[in-house]
């Protein structure tokens, strides 16, 4: 296996200053959106967030057929369980159903098709006219890709939220998103799986030290950010005037690009 570290700063310098951020996001979260252009030699790419644990061969996920769909993805578990998130995705992002709003931390990208539809131009145009400040790049992806998603089973993006969605023995990928970080606090669902693989890595001792010295205040801040996120979703979901304007803008962009 080869690992290559890539600095794409120069490649996206024209748009870098336009990328919106907030307290729990950095601009690097947008980088996945430029993969189709940066890697023209690949027709298909599997993007994975770094806060995951794989429990099986990831090739099984990569081999999922996409047809003419733009991406393959998994419905966001947190959205399936939290009413404010459901209202936000349907009212502001305008997905057909909150059950079709996907998490972008596990993303099978049909780069050939994304280049064909000028995905990057669609994104940059939308970025210049609409500010999504809840899930940012994930919201832009959902707004652009809705109706063109190959949905994959929840076992491939299992978050440490509810034990009922997937049986533990069937989980293939664990995603420690939001404030659910076992290296920061104890009592996180699936934390044993995290430490099992962490301790086997060359960074195992260092990560154990990070957990040992973790400031409890950081977890409190993370929990407060999640609570604020839910509150923001409720506010924006209820703003019908702005939501209708955004829907019109998106429709116009698709007709122009």
| Domain extent listing, the chain | 10-156+229-256
Token pair in block for residue 172: 């293939």
Tokens 């923001």 belong to: 232
Q: What is residue 25's predicted lDDT score, i.e. its pLDDT?
A: 55
Closest CA to 156 of 80, 76, 44: 76
Q: Can you tell me whether residue 232 is helix, strand or coil?
A: helix
Query: Nearest 5°: phi and psi at 52?
Result: -125, 160
Tokens 């280049």 belong to: 115
Q: What is residue 255's predicted lDDT score, i.e. its pLDDT?
A: 84
Q: What is residue 21's predicted lDDT score, i.e. its pLDDT?
A: 56
Q: What is the dihedral of CA 91, 97, 98, 103, to 10 degrees?
A: -110
Which string of b and e fits 73-111 if b means at least 16 CB within 10 Å? bbbbbbbbebebbbbbbbbbbbbeebebbbbbbbbbbbb
Token pair in block for residue 30: 């947008």
Question: Cβ atoms within 10 A of the Cβ of 137, count?
Answer: 21
Q: What is residue 27's predicted lDDT score, i.e. its pLDDT?
A: 63
How far is the C-alpha of 53 from the C-alpha of 148, rounded, in Å? 27
Q: What is residue 8's predicted lDDT score, i.e. its pLDDT?
A: 79
Q: What is residue 32's predicted lDDT score, i.e. its pLDDT?
A: 87
Q: What is residue 98's predicted lDDT score, i.e. its pLDDT?
A: 97
**10-156+229-256: which CATH number, 3.40.190.10, 3.90.550.10, 3.40.640.10, 3.40.50.300?**
3.90.550.10
Q: What is residue 16's predicted lDDT score, i.e. its pLDDT?
A: 61
Token pair in block for residue 3: 């690992």
Contacts 24+ apart (CB under 8 A), 241-247: 242/92, 243/91, 243/92, 243/94, 246/92, 246/94, 246/130, 247/94
Mean of all residue pLDDT scores within the chain? 91
According to DSSP, the β-strands at 45-48 and 102-109 are antiparallel
Q: H helices of 92-215, where? A: 111-116, 119-129, 137-145, 191-198, 204-212
- Averaged over successive runs of 10 residues, the pLDDT of the chain (257 residues) comes to 82 66 61 91 97 96 98 96 96 96 98 96 90 90 96 97 91 94 93 96 96 88 88 96 95 84
- Based on the number of CB atoms within 10 Å of its own CB, is 240 exposed (0-12), middle (13-18) or buried (19 or more)? exposed
């Amino acid at each position: 296996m080869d690992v290559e570290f890539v600095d794409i700063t120069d490649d996206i310098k024209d748009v870098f200053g336009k990328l919106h951020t907030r307290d729990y996001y950095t601009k690097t979260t947008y980088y996945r959106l430029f993969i189709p252009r940066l890697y023209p030699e690949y027709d298909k790419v599997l993007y994975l967030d770094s806060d995951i644990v794989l429990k099986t061969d990831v090739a099984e996920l990569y081999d999922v057929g996409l047809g003419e769909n733009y991406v393959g993805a998994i419905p966001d578990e947190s959205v399936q369980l939290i009413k404010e998130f459901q209202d936000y995705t349907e009212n502001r992002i305008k997905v057909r159903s909150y059950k079709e709003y996907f998490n972008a931390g596990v993303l099978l990208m049909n780069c050939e098709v994304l280049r064909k539809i000028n995905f990057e131009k669609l994104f940059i145009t939308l970025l210049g006219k609409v500010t999504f400040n809840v899930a940012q790049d994930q919201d832009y992806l959902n707004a652009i890709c809705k109706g063109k998603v190959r949905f994959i089973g929840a076992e491939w993006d299992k978050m440490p939220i509810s034990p009922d969605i997937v049986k533990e023995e069937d989980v293939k990928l664990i995603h420690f998103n939001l404030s659910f970080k076992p290296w920061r606090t104890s009592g996180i669902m699936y934390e044993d799986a995290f430490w099992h693989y962490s301790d086997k890595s060359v960074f195992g001792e260092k990560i154990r030290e990070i957990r040992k010295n973790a400031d409890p205040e950081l977890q409190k801040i993370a929990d407060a950010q999640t609570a604020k996120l839910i509150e923001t979703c409720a506010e924006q979901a209820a703003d019908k005037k702005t939501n209708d304007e955004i829907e019109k803008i998106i429709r116009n962009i698709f007709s122009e690009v």
